[in-house]
């Protein structure tokens, strides 16, 4: 909770500084959640992009890039974990990781 409170305080001070610098603008914090267990809630993600006036065609590209980066990040965690737990080689780990694809939700 201490980290979250510190982050909220930092966000608050940044927003206050932005408001002071540009009082005619409106500032709002919008959190984009990567997802739980590899899931990306597409509707929520696209709604938040829409709040930023991102066009539908552009939001599809942003969502695809987001999912790609999420999968790459998960891959960096899953491979070493799998190797540590199962002691398999990279090739064995890749075969097992390919089977995970059916369990990943977007």
52 three-class SS = coil
Which has more pLDDT, 14 or 40?
14
Model confidence pLDDT, tens digit, residues 67-81: 888 888 878 888 787
Structure tokens given for 73: 């990040």
pLDDT over 70, % of the chain: 75
Hey, where are the domains in the chain? Answer: 1-30, 33-106
User: Rg of the chain's alpha carbons, rounded to an integer?
Assistant: 19
Q: Does residue 98 have a pLDDT over 70? A: no
pLDDT over 90, % of the chain: 9
Distance, in Å, from the CA atom of 77 to the CA atom of 79, rounded to the nearest integer, reads: 6
Specify the length of the chain in residues.
106
Give the per-residue pLDDT at 104. 47
Give the per-residue pLDDT at 25. 92
What single DSSP character describes residue 53?
Answer: T
Residue by residue, DSSP assigns 19-39 as HHH-TTS----------STT-
Burial 55-75 (b: 16+ CB within 10 A, else e): eeeebeeebeebbeebbeebe
Question: Which among 60, 71, 16 has a CA at the least distance from the CA of 38?
Answer: 71
pTM: 0.51
Give the per-residue pLDDT at 106. 40
């Amino acid at each position: 909770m201490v980290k979250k409170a510190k982050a909220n305080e930092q966000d608050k001070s940044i927003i206050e500084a932005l408001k002071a610098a540009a009082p005619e603008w409106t500032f709002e914090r919008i959190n984009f959640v990567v997802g739980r267990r590899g899931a990306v809630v597409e509707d929520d993600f696209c709604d938040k992009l829409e709040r930023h006036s991102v066009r539908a065609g552009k939001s599809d590209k942003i969502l695809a890039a987001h999912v790609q980066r999420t999968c790459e990040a998960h891959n960096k965690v899953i491979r070493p974990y799998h190797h540590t737990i199962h002691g398999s080689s990279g090739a064995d780990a890749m075969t097992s990781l390919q089977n995970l694809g059916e369990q990943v939700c977007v």
